[in-house]
Chain A
Amino acid sequence: MKTYLLKRLITLIPTLFVVSIVVYLIIYLTPGDPAEVMLGDSATDEQVEALRDEMGLNDSFVERYFSWMGGVLTGDLGTSYFMKEEVTFSIISHLGPTLSLAVLAEIFAIIIGIPIGIFAARRRGTFVDQSFMGLSYIGVAIPSFLLALFLILLFSIKLQWFPVAGYKELSDGLWEHLRYLILPALALGCMHVALTARMTRSSMLDVLNLNFIKTARAKGVKEGLVIYRHTLRNALLPIVTIIGQNFGILIAGAAVVETVFNIPGIGQLVVNSIERRDFPVIQGIILFVTFVYVVINLIVDLLYGVIDPRVKLDK
């Protein structure tokens, strides 16, 4: 286990190195002078030049990369051009809503997706199965922002069950918090509900065809036990993988949904930063989300051994 962890961590280094280069290059190659952007139109040439010196913009590409990277490694993602505050601080202060949203969307994916997948697998080939799988096709084809608009039309404008937009902190009460988050989480999670359902179904079907299930049934084990103890437990590995991978994608996908529902998370922050051309923030958030994404995948891999003792990670 330890050697495996070490090996995985070592393979992460080149990946994250490339990520940092890509993110750095995007900003480096962008036309426009950050010093001018920061100082605004009224600044004199001397002021701009002084700031350029101070920000190290006159240094070479390599020097700038290393000084930036050195900051990143110590948790310093730079300073926002627009808000004039530490990017690390902005990310932390906007993280709460995004996490709430992603967690709720993930909960939807699990409590709706897995039961549907099991249900469809047990009734394979029937009308119910085919309708669910047809629905899952549509679920994957709807972009989250579009579903968000459709949900607003139906539940906020027509039925008026939920607010159109906005966000309430958890400290305002759990129900109040959820009331504002349910539609965004549904919009964000729909695709993952569909993917989880499909993965659960196909993984269950793989196991249901194995001999030990036939043996269990022949022995007269109750159907419920066959499904939940024998089949689901063995089918869990790919399901956990997709749920883990989902979480990173959900955090990234939140950018779009947060914008539609006006939720003050890191997604909205990144979209607002595009208009402001606030590159340190864009850079910082991409690095942060990618890092979270990579770490989650690592955790999922490590969990394999826990879920399925047959998987030997040391090999």
Chain B
Amino acid sequence: MEAVVNSASDLHKKRTTLKKEQRRLAIRKFIHNKQAVTGFVILLFIVALALLGPVLIDSDPYEIHPEDRLLGPSGDYLFGTDNMGRDLLARIIYGAQVSLLIGLAVAFFAGVIGTVIGLYASYYKTLDNILMRICEGIMAIPAILLAIALMAALGPSTQNIIIALSIVYTPYVARVVRSSALVIREETYIEAMKAIGAKSFRIIWGHIAPNVVSPLIIQITSVFANAILIEATLSFLGAGVPAPTPSWGNILYDGKMVIFNTPWMVIFPGICIVLAILALNMFGDGLRDILDPHSNSKK
């Protein structure tokens, strides 16, 4: 009896060291992946700017200075002022908070709901048929148009963008989770679990779910990037974050009106959007190389 207990705890120890070893390997792979590290560093920089910015500069993004309208970059206003005389740097920093928050929230909701749908669809055949037809239908509608229609119906607000984009992107997550889960489902150990009478809840969440984490993370990174892009587009069209709350998209909306006199109102927030999406894409592709060795995007 003692021997059995011993070997069991040995096994447990071995397993944890193996897990640690795997994690160490993944981290080492990550550090050596230039793409992933570059993306991660840029992302960290933007997040730090969004979080620490309000502490570092004491300027109100909502405060209107009518006498300082459309000023160029100067000592008082590092990035100049907008069409209402508001400090552009402050607006871009607060805009970063709004844009990142929306991206993060959409990635979270689409990730969670998509995972649940994908896992259960992979496990129950009838459910799969229904859920996947719905997903295909939603995915057949071009993302930007569906987002525009949903925003037209819901009305512009930050909360509604999160709802609309979560609806748009949930099927993309569900598809990826489902297709990975379908492979796992066929493994012998899942069959063995069923044979010993394990509950489906335990099989799905305890044994299938952990194996779909890698593709899920990759997909969520891409949803994050796309959500930022579409949020900027919607706000730019006037169907996104409503004024006066700053977001990168609606700063550009204001900037478009005064593009002849004040190009910096377009250039500064524009660079922020490109950097954020670029960083997320690089990070995501890097992760794919690390987590999914079968598809090598670099070749």
Is A202 touching B299 in the complex (CB atoms < 8 A)?
yes
B266: nearest residue on chain A (CB-CB)? Answer: A149
Chain B binding surface, main DSSP class: helix
Chain B residues whose C-beta falls within 8 Å of the C-beta of A150 in the assembled complex: 266-267, 270
* A256-B233 contact given A152-B259, A286-B146, CB 8 Å threshold: yes
Is A294 touching B140 in the complex (CB atoms < 8 A)?
yes
Chain B residues whose C-beta falls within 8 Å of the C-beta of A205 in the assembled complex: 299
B260: nearest residue on chain A (CB-CB)? Answer: A157
B247-259 near A? 1/0 per residue, CB < 8 Å: 0000010011001
Chain A residues whose C-beta falls within 8 Å of the C-beta of B144 in the assembled complex: 252-253, 255-256
A279 interface residue, CB < 8 Å from B? Answer: yes
- The tally of residues in A whose CB lies under 8 Å from a CB in B reads 55
Is A282 touching B152 in the complex (CB atoms < 8 A)?
yes
Chain A residues whose C-beta falls within 8 Å of the C-beta of B252 in the assembled complex: 145-146, 149
Chain A binding surface, main DSSP class: helix
* A17-B259 contact given A285-B145, A289-B145, CB 8 Å threshold: no
Is A143 touching B137 in the complex (CB atoms < 8 A)?
no
A21-51 near B? 1/0 per residue, CB < 8 Å: 1110011011000000000000000000000
* A15-B150 contact given A157-B260, A205-B299, CB 8 Å threshold: no
A184 interface residue, CB < 8 Å from B? Answer: no
B134 interface residue, CB < 8 Å from A? Answer: yes
| C-alpha gap A282/B149 in the complex (Å) | 7
Chain B residues whose C-beta falls within 8 Å of the C-beta of A270 in the assembled complex: 145, 148
* A145-B233 contact given A153-B263, A275-B238, CB 8 Å threshold: yes
Is B142 touching A293 in the complex (CB atoms < 8 A)?
yes
Is B260 touching A18 in the complex (CB atoms < 8 A)?
no
Query: Which of the segments A70-78, A100-108, A134-142, A220-228 contacts the partner chain?
Result: A134-142
- The tally of residues in B whose CB lies under 8 Å from a CB in A reads 43
Partner of B151, one of A137, A140, A274: A274
B177 interface residue, CB < 8 Å from A? Answer: no
Partner of B152, one of A22, A157, A277: A277
| C-alpha gap A65/B281 in the complex (Å) | 41
B131-147 near A? 1/0 per residue, CB < 8 Å: 00110111011111110
Is A143 touching B273 in the complex (CB atoms < 8 A)?
yes
Which of chain B's residues 101-147 have a Cβ closer than 8 Å to chain A? Answer: 133-134, 136-138, 140-146
Chain A residues whose C-beta falls within 8 Å of the C-beta of B278 in the assembled complex: 137-138, 141
B282 interface residue, CB < 8 Å from A? Answer: yes
Partner of B273, one of A21, A146, A275, A294: A146
* A15-B140 contact given A146-B273, A149-B270, A150-B266, CB 8 Å threshold: yes
* A274-B237 contact given A137-B278, A143-B229, A146-B270, CB 8 Å threshold: yes
| C-alpha gap A21/B130 in the complex (Å) | 14
Chain B residues whose C-beta falls within 8 Å of the C-beta of A282 in the assembled complex: 148-149, 152
Chain A residues whose C-beta falls within 8 Å of the C-beta of B142 in the assembled complex: 248-249, 251-253, 289-290, 293
| C-alpha gap A206/B298 in the complex (Å) | 12
Q: Shortest beta-carbon distance, A228 to chain B, in Å?
A: 20
B236 interface residue, CB < 8 Å from A? Answer: yes
* A141-B153 contact given A19-B141, A153-B266, CB 8 Å threshold: no
B232 interface residue, CB < 8 Å from A? Answer: yes
Q: Shortest beta-carbon distance, B163 to chain A, in Å?
A: 12
B241 interface residue, CB < 8 Å from A? Answer: no
Known pairs A19-B140, A149-B252, A282-B152; list 6 more (Cβ under 8 Å). A143-B232, A146-B232, A146-B274, A149-B266, A256-B144, A290-B141
Give 12 pairs: A residue, B residue, CB < 8 Å, sorted on A. A15-B137, A137-B281, A140-B281, A142-B274, A146-B232, A149-B266, A157-B259, A248-B142, A252-B142, A274-B237, A275-B238, A282-B149
